[in-house]
Structure 1
């Protein structure tokens, strides 16, 4: 059910977000405690402001009220994905090529579950990073999350 809701909302949100000149990064539909949350993550060059989130929220609220694609009660949140955003789509792997990323795997590899390096790309369904010239390859289905690693 969760996957269908997320896909349905992606399809409803994409034209709204694109018409406002933002990028639709992700949609989550998750239960936290007693409440369900529908989170729509948007981005644009230079970052997202509260006004950007409000514009998408208002338009999506109207569409969601009209189409009513979700049976249970939920809270709608529109947000920036943050600096350490997860990389999910092929577009993300192209956009952030050359940047520092963290790769977390489901099962330990040589006793480690977290790896860091420069993103080489998504090649043949494998995530490739380079750490001081040493390339590491991870099967995409064995990776829990890939996210930007921001150092301050």
Structure 2
């Protein structure tokens, strides 16, 4: 069964792409009256406030008609930023060689949190170099992940 984020991604991606932006990913945090639907958008020329407002207008219209979330929520549209969240296999592949933090849904070797270098992706399995050892993490077991910015 698809998660709410997957259903929303399928529903909203065409509208975001029609505005000329990439829908990088969606997070939905269900917290009763304080729930948040967060869309991350990207573009090769960067993201500014006007871009976020434009996408917000387009997405809001669809959400008003489709009404996929039954409770109240706030809509946020933003750039992925420096600590770019990673949602799909392609995201990990794009950032091979970068440092990342990954939290899994289920523990592997009694551990759910991993920090290391993204080595690659093989058949929807992220290969992360953690303290000199390769750790293989299935994308569908990753609860959340983001890049760790490196400053020289």
- The TM tier, using the shorter chain, reads 0.7 to 0.9
CA offsets 1:82-102 (integer angstroms, 9 cap, x no match): 211222212212211222323
TM-score, structure 1 length as denominator?
A: 0.78
Tell me the CA shift for residue 42 of structure 1. 0.9
Larger mean CA deviation between 142-151 and 48-57 belongs to: 142-151
Aligned residues: CA RMSD: 2.8
The runs of 5 or more residues in structure 2 that have no matched partner are none
Contact kept in structure 1, 2:24 and 2:80, CA below 8 Å = yes
Tell me the CA shift for residue 14 of structure 1. 0.6
CA offsets 1:85-126 (integer angstroms, 9 cap, x no match): 222212212211222323345647598943222x22111443
TM-score, structure 2 length as denominator?
A: 0.78
Q: Paired residue for 1:72?
A: 71
1:138 to 133, 136, 142: 136
The question of 1:82 aligning with 2:81 is answered yes
Q: Paired residue for 2:100?
A: 101
The runs of 5 or more residues in structure 1 that have no matched partner are none
Larger mean CA deviation between 60-69 and 97-106 belongs to: 97-106
Q: Structure 2 vs 1, CA of residues 72 and 146 (structure 1 numbering), >3 Å: closer, same or farther?
A: closer
Tell me the CA shift for residue 53 of structure 1. 0.5
Query: What count of residue pairs does the alignment treat as equivalent?
Result: 149
Q: Paired residue for 2:5?
A: 6
The question of 1:114 aligning with 2:114 is answered yes
Contact kept in structure 2, 1:41 and 1:79, CA below 8 Å = yes
**Larger-Rg structure:** 1
